[in-house]
């Protein structure tokens, strides 16, 4: 039920960035599944539920992505002009980053700086996690923020290649990695710098990798010698008395 409700909730938000992230997540999961037939059927079910729940305005908004082929067509992407405005904000963000590349302008200052650099836009959010971090924390902060993410992705690549992992464990690792990739793609169009769920998700991924490594090690370890039974102890006592 949750598998169907989560995509439906995403569709109701009409967030195009999150929709693209969800689409990438789905493709990774389906492509890596050993039972692609069941995965495709489940995907079709989820899409059917989403089509039934989402209002027509959602599909109209998502359909505007087909017109985002050039910066000259951004005004045609949506009626409210959010895509064109976001492009202007990103242009402003690049200017701020260019002026403060090392340490940025300081945490929580982007909205103010956007108004200072582009008075016609006023105070606006970056609508991009990456640009927000680069503008407020510079390349130093950007490195500190994403170093754990990069390290975790490298760890997952190594862990998924460990021998003697169960099918369930490998599927869990693949799904968790797909979720991270989908989130990072959605972060291109959304500001999630203070999204606590992201850090909790990284902790869950780290724990899953540790469990998988322990599973692989336990499977490759030689079996422990059987513990002596009660009959074995009695037999040993008899042998000792006879020898005495």
Express each pLDDT in 91-131 by its tens digit. Answer: 999 999 999 999 999 999 999 999 999 988 889 999 899 99
SS3 label, residue 113:
helix
Residues 6+ apart with CB under 8 A from 40: 30
Break the chain into its structural domains and give their ranges. 1-67, 82-219
Mean pLDDT of 79-90: 76
Evaluate whether 78 touches 35 at the Cβ level (below 8 Å): no
DSSP 3: H
Evaluate whether 11 touches 50 at the Cβ level (below 8 Å): yes
Closest CA to 19 of 188, 175, 149: 188
Report pTM: 0.75
* Joined tokens for residue 204: 């869950």
Q: CA 177 to CA 75: how far, in whole Å?
A: 35
Model confidence pLDDT, tens digit, residues 12-59: 565 677 778 888 888 888 887 777 777 677 667 766 666 666 666 655
* Joined tokens for residue 19: 């929709």
Reply yes or no on whether the pLDDT at 147 is more than 60: yes
- Residue burial 125-137, b: 16+ Cβ < 10 Å; e: rest: ebbbbbbbbbbbb
Reply yes or no on whether the pLDDT at 218 is more than 90: no
pLDDT-derived band at 78, boundaries 50, 70, 90? low
Q: CA 191 to CA 21: how far, in whole Å?
A: 14
DSSP 224: P
Answer with the residue of higher pLDDT: 71 or 186. Answer: 186
Q: What angle do CA 113, 117, 123 make, to 5 degrees?
A: 50
Q: Cβ atoms within 10 A of the Cβ of 218, count?
A: 9
Contacts of 199-205 with C-beta under 8 Å, sequence gap 24+, read: 202/148, 202/149, 202/152, 204/176, 205/152, 205/156, 205/176, 205/177, 205/180
Q: How many residues in total does the chain contain?
A: 244
């Amino acid at each position: 039920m949750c598998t169907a409700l989560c995509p439906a909730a995403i569709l109701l938000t009409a967030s195009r960035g999150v929709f693209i992230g969800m689409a990438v997540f789905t493709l990774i999961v389906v492509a890596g599944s050993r039972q692609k037939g069941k995965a495709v059927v489940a995907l079709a079910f989820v899409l059917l539920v989403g089509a039934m729940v989402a209002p027509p305005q959602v599909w109209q908004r998502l359909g505007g992505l087909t017109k985002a082929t050039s910066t000259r067509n951004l005004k045609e992407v949506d009626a409210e002009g959010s895509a064109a405005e976001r492009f202007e904000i990103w242009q402003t963000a690049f200017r701020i980053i260019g002026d403060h590349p090392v340490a940025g302008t300081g945490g929580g200052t982007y909205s103010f700086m956007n108004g200072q650099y582009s008075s016609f836009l006023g105070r606006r959010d970056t609508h991009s996690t990456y640009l927000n971090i680069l503008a407020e924390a510079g390349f130093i902060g950007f490195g500190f923020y994403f170093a754990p993410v990069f390290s975790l992705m490298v760890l997952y690549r190594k862990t998924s290649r460990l021998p003697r992992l169960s099918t369930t464990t490998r599927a869990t690792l693949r799904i968790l990695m797909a979720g991270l990739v989908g989130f990072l793609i959605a972060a291109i169009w959304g500001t999630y710098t203070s999204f606590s769920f992201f850090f909790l998700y990284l902790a869950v991924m780290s724990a899953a990798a540790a469990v998988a490594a322990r599973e692989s090690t336990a499977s490759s370890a030689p079996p422990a010698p059987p513990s002596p039974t009660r009959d074995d102890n009695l037999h040993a006592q008899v042998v000792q008395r006879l020898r005495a």
